[in-house]
Amino acid sequence: MRALPIAVTVLAAALALTSCDGGGSGSSSGSGKSGDSAGSAKKAGVAACVIGDAGIQVGPANAATAAGDTGNIPVTLTNKGAQCTLKGFPGLSVQAGGTSADIAADKSAAPEQLTLAKGDTASFTITYVRGATGDAKTLAVKTLKIGLPGSDTTRSFPWSYGPLAGKGSASEPNASVTPFQHAGD
């Protein structure tokens, strides 16, 4: 009968040891992702998401209708490739003719690391102030360029939200972008 308590003790110890491998301590990136997804992604060597494997939908927007109004443009990214990770902010720039300007990251929200399986979605929001047509501090934007963290590759989308106000000049847009967030369920 003495063998049964020893076997139970060994089994309990084995279960305790295997449960130590699932927490957030496996990620040294300081990600805000709860559970073990971030740690598992790092252990499994999951690559960063690439824009060529993403379906991207820009809008529909809560567009600013008059100069000085603020608008919001949601952007949804769907992973169409293998499992991948996103962390940080998208790289955004706007173009008007030969002029290009970057959209700044909204640092009020801390980015978390997201692991996206094939078919999973993530989103971010662009907040902008509409400029006055013809104003020297306004950029008559025609194109939005979107890139993912860790890559210089971008995709272009038409900008149909009117001129973009500048903070001090047209080269510094009065706009910001949130970090990536899980979309859907």
Determine the structural domain holding residue 144 and report its residue range: 48-182
SS3 179: coil
On average, the pLDDT of the chain sits at 79
Per the CB < 8 A criterion, the answer to whether 146 and 90 are in contact is yes
Q: Which residues of 30-40 are buried (b: 16+ CB within 10 A; e: fewer)?
A: ebbbeebbbbe
Query: Rounded to an integer, what is the distance from CA 164 to the centroid of its chain?
Result: 22
pLDDT at residue 4 tops 70: no
Residue with the bigger pLDDT between 34 and 113: it is 113
- Residue 41 domain-assigned? no
Residue 38 tokens read as 């971030």
Per the CB < 8 A criterion, the answer to whether 165 and 137 are in contact is yes
For the stretch 11-30, pLDDT in tens is 333 333 333 333 332 322 23
For the stretch 92-101, pLDDT in tens is 999 998 899 9
Give this prediction's pTM. 0.74
Per DSSP, helices labelled H in the chain are 3-19, 37-44
Bridge partners for 166 per DSSP: 173
> pLDDT band for position 44 (50/70/90)?
low
pLDDT of residue 35: 31
- Residue 20 domain-assigned? no
- Residue 28 domain-assigned? no
- Residue 115 domain-assigned? yes
AA identity, residue 64: A
CATH of the domain at 139: 2.60.40
What is the total count of domains within the chain?
1
- Residue 79 domain-assigned? yes
AA identity, residue 42: K
pLDDT of residue 109: 85
pLDDT of residue 143: 97
What is the average per-residue pLDDT within 125-131? Answer: 97
- Residue 126 domain-assigned? yes
- Residue 23 domain-assigned? no
- Residue 58 domain-assigned? yes
The rounded percent of the chain whose pLDDT value lies above 70 is 75
pLDDT of residue 150: 85
Residues in the chain: 185
